[in-house]
Structure 1
Amino acid sequence: MPSVTRKTQAGRAERRDQIKTRLLAAVEQLLADGQNFTELSVERLVGVAGVSRSTFYVYFEDKGELIRAWLTEIISELEVAARGWWSLSGDATWDDLRAALNRVVLVYRPHTTLMAAAFDAAAYDPAVREQVEEMMQRNIAGLRKHIRAGQSLGAVDATLPAAQTAAWLTWMAERGLHRLVRDAPEEELAILVDAYTSIVWNTLYAGARGR
C-alpha cells in the first residue's frame, strides 16, 4: 500500500507539471507577441498563465529554473531524433539522410520558441548556460563519432577534421533551425529540409561516394 508521503510527493509532482505547462504556454504566447524572454517579468508571466505569483515561487525559484525544467525534458527528445542521423550505415543514400534530418526538423520545430528563450536565458543565467552548452556538446560529440565511424568505412570524406566539422555543422544547424525553420510556412519546410540535406551530404559524404 503506497505511503502517504509517496502520494503527497506524486501529487506535488503532478501539480508542478500542470503549473509548468501553463507557464510555458504563457511564455510561448508572450514571445510570439514580440516580448523578449530576458525582459519578461514573472509578474507578467503569471498574469498571462493565470497562476499566482506565490504559486510560481512554490515550484520555481525563477524564470531560469522554469526553462531548465523544460530543457531537461526536451534535450532527450531531440537527442533521440538526432541518433537517427548518427546511426546511418555506411551505404546510406541522400534520401536516407533526408529522412533522418527531416525527423530532427519536425521534432525541433514545435519547440523553436522555447528554445530561443533558453538561449536568451543562457546569456545571463549560468545554470541555463551550462545546460545549453552541455546539450550542444553532446550533439557535437554524437556527430563527431558518426563522422569518424564513416571515415573508417570510407563513407565520409577522410580529409575532414571530425571535431571541427561536427562543431560547425551542429552550430549552423542550431541557428538555421531557429532562424529559418521557426517561422517557415509549411510549403517552404520541405525546401528547407532539402537544402539542409544537401549541405550535410556535400560536406560529409559526396566526396567519398557521390550522391
Structure 2
Amino acid sequence: MTTTLMTYAGPGEPDALVTRTGGMPLGPVGAVWPCCATCGGPMQFLAQIILDGLGRPIVQGHTHAGHVMAIFMCQSDPGMGDEWSPTAGGNRALLFPSETLRPIPAPEPDDGEGVLRLGVVNAVSLVSSPSADYFSAREEWGNRSGNSLGHVLGQLGGQPEWLQADETPTCPTCSQPMNLVAQFEEGPDHATAMNFGGCGTAFAFACGPCTQAAFLWQC
C-alpha cells in the first residue's frame, strides 16, 4: 500500500479544473456560495478536488472526472462557529458533477483575499510514496527531496492520520462510513495558510454513491 502526497507546485490558476488550494470555486449554473450557520456570513473557499464517478480522488490525470469537491470554511470570526466540526455548519464540502462547471459567483461585497478566498492559489503535484501511513510518507518525501515539510499540502485518498480520536463521519443518506478523499495541511506560507487551529490538519470525506461530503479538522 502506498500514499499519494499532495505537494506544493508553485502558483496555480484560480479557476482551473484541477485539484488545488485557493482560487475560485467551480460549480454548475445556479450553485450558491455557502454561508455559515452561526454568523450567516459567506464562508472562505479553501480547496477543490477532482474525483471519479464513485467519489474517489483522481490521482493520475483528469480525463475521467465524475465530480468536483469544493471545500469552504467560515473565517468571519475564527473560533466562534465550530469550524472544525463536520456537522455544526461552520464549514461545507460540496460535490458537483464535473460537466458545465463555471466559477460560483462571489457574494457582495467581494473582499477578495481574506474572508472569502485564500491569499494565494497553490498548484498541486502528486507524489507516490512507498510508506503506507501519511506522516511517514511525508517525512520520507522531505528527506528524499530536500524540501521543507511545509511543502506537503496533504494526501489524496488513503487512510486518515488522526491527531486525536477517529472522527470518520457517516453518510447522512446511507449511514455508512464515508471514505477519505483528502487530508490537508494548512499550507507552506503562514500569511496565506488555511486556518486549522494552528498547525492542525483537516480531512475531507465523501460517499460517492450518495453524492454526500463532509469536512472537519483537528489540532
Q: Which structure is higher in RCO with an 8 Å CA cutoff and minimum separation 6?
A: 2
Structure 1 and Structure 2 fold alike (TM over 0.5): no
Higher percent of residues as helix: 1
TM-score normalised by length of structure 1: 0.24
Higher percent of residues as strand: 2
Larger Rg: 1
